[in-house]
Structure 1
Amino acid sequence: MLRDGGGLSDEGTELLLKQLDGVTRTLLDVRTAAEALGKVVDAATQVIPGADLASITLRASDGSFSSPVETDPVATELDGAQYRDGRGPCVDTARPDGPGYAESGDLRAEPRWPGFAAEAVRLGYHCVLATELLPSEGGVSGALNVYSRETGALTADDRHVALLLATHASLALAHAHAAEVADLRQAQLRRAVDSRDVIGQAKGILMTRRGISADEAFALLRRTSQDLNVKLVDLARTLADRHDQLDRR
């Protein structure tokens, strides 16, 4: 996206408006909240130039958190680090009394969320923006989360775009029935288990082949997925499914 002096140029603004119009039209065709939220996170990585990952955090009325949709399992890991710690931009923003947004341009020097910041940097992400979702019926609140590998990659313009996308997500949740929202949370748990299993298989293959540790195997998977611009779980699944073919070469 074209920027001029830190903000969008006229050409960049026109392109952004076209992209957002396309997102809006696409959302008109969806039938479920899960579909809508999935399209919102996909759109975030398309229309926010610095966005490498995106996810949605939901906070239930009992105070528990979940990430029903994400663009890559690494985003779920980043969210989960905050849920476990009880501190972080998506946790703060998803709380009903939280801020409209929370951000950090450099997680290497972030004192507010030391646990999350350390984990994000370990995974190779240095910039974050979380934007509040409007509370829906049943006491569900949440946040749209955007992660970037580059420091200072998310700008004030990006905050405005994230707010528009968060509004779309909020509308989808507002029209969803309580049972559908509960299904979203259960689907996230099943998907998280499946992702962990296949990533674990891929790590085991790399550990055996390369004689490396589990952490080194995961780092190799993550780095390769970034280099190839392929989702980590898709790369892991390919390796797990086809490792016997590779052995025959």
Structure 2
Amino acid sequence: MTGTSAKPAVTPLLEELLARIAADVPGALGAAVSVHPRGGPWSTAATYGPDTAFVPAQLNGFDGPVPAAGRTGAPTVTADVFADDRWPALTLSGLREQHPGFAADWPRVRGVAALPVTWDSEGRLVLSVTLARPATEETVNVLRRYERLAAMALVVAEAARPDRTEQMLDLVQSRAALEEAKGIVIALRRCDPDEAWSTLRRASQECNVKVRELAVALVELLAGAPAPQPDGDRTITPRPAARRAAEQLLRALEGR
């Protein structure tokens, strides 16, 4: 899969959020939000500082922690990105050659942390930060404090595009159903949000149903009533297979 640096609609809200993240992470040089749709091209939604060039470079051939997080769905951390053998093509000399406008910044870059935020089965966004010092798990913990804000800011930015309004409304509705279902899994399994998402995703794959349908079916099964949803074409209506999958999942979660 190849990436692109073409941006969706970028609002001051996204850019201000990235500036806040950079200010909150000790040693931060830049930050970015990138979009990783399943089966589609990667793109940057907003960038700050040298990440204006650094993240698109990773998405367009150099590889690196940002696309790795997008591919795997797991947080990716490196203490020294140019010495990390996971991405041999991502070199200081290569960046200097292809992005000379940031030549003064590249020698300062060391650590990178990238946190994937899953919307639904259709893709992810990745919130990332570049540092002048090693990145650690604590860096990821700081990013986690902003993941929901980043997701919602991206929705606002995309909704400003007339050609994307309907798609983003669908995305918001899917996200709401998934958050409710994840809350159910967290409560019953006493697990963290990442494990809850993995549980939902695994159940949807094993039963061959869409994860958003499974999420709505699970919420409705536990509530004993239809989940609150908008009328019209955006209503998520679980098929019988999704309702059976929700019943199986609930039994497993309750240990029956």
Structure 1 length as normaliser, TM-score? 0.50
Higher relative contact order (CA 8 A, sep 6+): 1
Structure exhibiting the larger radius of gyration computed from Cα positions: 2
Structure 2 length as normaliser, TM-score? 0.49
